[in-house]
Chains A and B, each alone.
Chain A
Amino acid sequence: MTAVTPDVAHADVRKSGRFLFRAAIVFLCAWVLVPIYFLLINTLSSPETVNAFPKSFIPEFDMGSLTFFANFAGMLTALKNSVIVACLTMVLSIAFGAPAGYALSRFDFRGKELFRVLILLTRAFPLPLLALPLAVLFIRTGLDDTLLGLALVHTTLAIPFAVLITFSLFSGIPIELEEAAWTLGCTRFTAFTKVVLPLIAPGIAASAIFAFVISWNEVFAAAVLTIQNRTLPAFLLQSLGTSPLHLKFAGGFILVVPALVFIFAVRKYLFAMWGIANR
């Protein structure tokens, strides 16, 4: 009889421990989700409700704020610019980054370490500051206030990630597969397009999406480099001081939506890239 009591006490401790553990996880999920939910309420409320007090904690599903956002002069153009710049960034960073990722994973060459250091260095610098001298340079080359010019700067931000992700992806595909294709009559190029590329396509898509998000979210360089052709973050930032609350919230929500979708799409690859990059 006496021997049972400590066991029961022990089980009690474990039970309450498990309860605390679950409570902490639920709390941290709420910590992430509740602020986004608040933004959703404001977005789906009429402009009057957004400026009223006190706030309801349930959305009223009124499209007033979103309509106001869509009709605000220049807003839809800014949204379109954002999409164009992000797509350009996506294409450029993969086009430049993926070959380098392949080279790093398949070849040992002189200067490989130096090249890796260069890539890692770009991550260790406050890159948006590059926009300042580039603003001057772009005026000289006619790239000032163009979407391509901004996309080039965003590509600099996205390239280290593109190289590291594709490097880890290519490393995950055994070189024997390629060698087998060579013995069966493929050239290096056709072996790549017929064997490696199909295997790696989803991963490439994930790193492209990552590049898209980096560009979509970037504020500082966008605000410095564009004047007429503002992207959405730059436009919102510029009008923060003067725009009404419901415009800010609707704009903020439009900025958040792709993030939710994209993080879901790339969640499998988020961890692989850092695991390799750390070593």
Chain B
Amino acid sequence: MNARTLPYLLILPVTLFLCVFFIYPFVLVAQLAFTQGDGFTLANFREVVGYWKFPISLKNTLLLAAIVVPIQLALSLAMATMVSKMEKGRDLVLYVWTIPLGISDLAAGIIWLAIFEQSGFLNSMMSGMGLIDKPISLLTYEHPWVIFIAIALAEIWRATAIMLVILVAGMGLIPKEYYEAAEVFGASPWKRFLKITLPMLRPSLQTALVLRVILAFEVFAVVIALGGSLFPVLMAETYAYQFDLLNSGAAAAIALIILAISIGFTLIILRLLRVPKGATI
């Protein structure tokens, strides 16, 4: 076998696989969304957008992403900087901090349910400190903001690790000489962070944010575990259309809307953090 055809033979299986299970389903989902009975129609979209729950779930999804992602960005930057300054115990701390990477959103939801449910650990702590006499039910429709906080905390707890891993890897690529030079010229640690780390980290920040924002729009099991139907989000609506209402056309329409939002934000992030040509490490 010669070296000209071999690479194509090697990538052929994965390419075929992705054509069948990645590209073709997208064609199908678009087809499902734009048809009802026969012929092209926007009826599915009109139905989905016109439903009273749609504006709420759109607002909830966007609000959750808008609160969670910036906190995660700051937190993962701080954690990555700390790790880069550590000498002893670096591996152990990194292991602990990356544990949530392997934990599913459903498990994370259940973990935070153990804290927030009525007989849970938050109530136990508050009564132990004498703040309350008897347990209060926190995750009910009377306190929508508690549900929101619980979901946001669970998301921050679970999904900061993926950004941390990407940023730690990115920081490892920044040459040490830059920092040494800046120190010689008397730049403070904060200034070094602003003028060296952040700009040099741009490709990693791009990857981390794109990945994280897309996952944020897919938020689903955490919400179901903690809020049930009290906190509607887009992905849960998709699930409800598919299963409870058995309307796969409408489910496909919401799926396309989630997809459009994801692509929109991906493009914005890529544009905002674009890496000038020839400026890579």
Q: Which A residues fall within an 8 A CB radius of B? A: 21, 24-25, 28-29, 31-33, 35-36, 38-39, 42, 50-55, 57, 95-97, 99-100, 102-104, 106-107, 109, 112, 115, 118-119, 122-130, 132-137, 152-153, 155-156, 159, 163, 188, 213, 216-220, 223-224, 233, 236-237, 240-241, 245, 248-249, 251-252, 255-256, 258-260, 262-264, 267, 270-275, 277-279
Q: Is the CB of A132 within 8 A of B105?
A: no
Compute how far the CA of A147 lies from the CA of B281 in the bound complex, rounded to whole angstroms. Answer: 44
Q: Is the CB of A36 within 8 A of B239?
A: no
Of B39-47, B109-117, B138-146, B191-199, the stretch lying at the interface with chain A is: B109-117
Q: Is the CB of B135 within 8 A of A53?
A: yes
Closest to B92 in A: A29
Q: Is B26 an interface residue (CB 8 A)?
A: yes
Of B7-15, B62-70, B179-187, the stretch lying at the interface with chain A is: B7-15
Residues in A whose Cβ lies below 8 Å from that of B235: 220
Q: Is the CB of B99 within 8 A of A219?
A: no
B87-111 toward A: CB 8 Å interface, digit per residue (1/0)?
0000101111111111111110011
The count of chain B contact residues (Cβ–Cβ below 8 Å) is 95
Closest to B218 in A: A126
Closest to A162 in B: B14
Residues in B whose Cβ lies below 8 Å from that of A249: 110, 113-114
Shortest B160–chain A CB gap in Å is 9
Residues in A whose Cβ lies below 8 Å from that of B225: 240, 248
Q: A32-B157, A53-B124, A99-B13 are in contact. Are A132 and B29 (CB under 8 A)?
A: yes
Residues in A whose Cβ lies below 8 Å from that of B120: 55
Residues in A whose Cβ lies below 8 Å from that of B10: 99-100, 102-103
Shortest B91–chain A CB gap in Å is 8
Shortest B233–chain A CB gap in Å is 12
Closest to A187 in B: B1
Q: Which B residues fall within an 8 A CB radius of A? A: 1, 3-4, 6-8, 10-11, 13-15, 17-18, 21-22, 25-26, 28-29, 31-32, 78-79, 82, 85-86, 91, 93-107, 110-115, 117-121, 123-124, 127-128, 135, 157, 165-166, 168-170, 172-173, 203-204, 207, 210-211, 214, 217-218, 220-221, 224-225, 228, 235, 238-239, 242-243, 248, 251-252, 255, 258-259, 262-263, 266, 280-281
Compute how far the CA of A187 lies from the CA of B5 in the bound complex, rounded to whole angstroms. Answer: 16
Residues in A whose Cβ lies below 8 Å from that of B8: 109
Closest to A42 in B: B114
Residues in A whose Cβ lies below 8 Å from that of B95: 263-264, 267
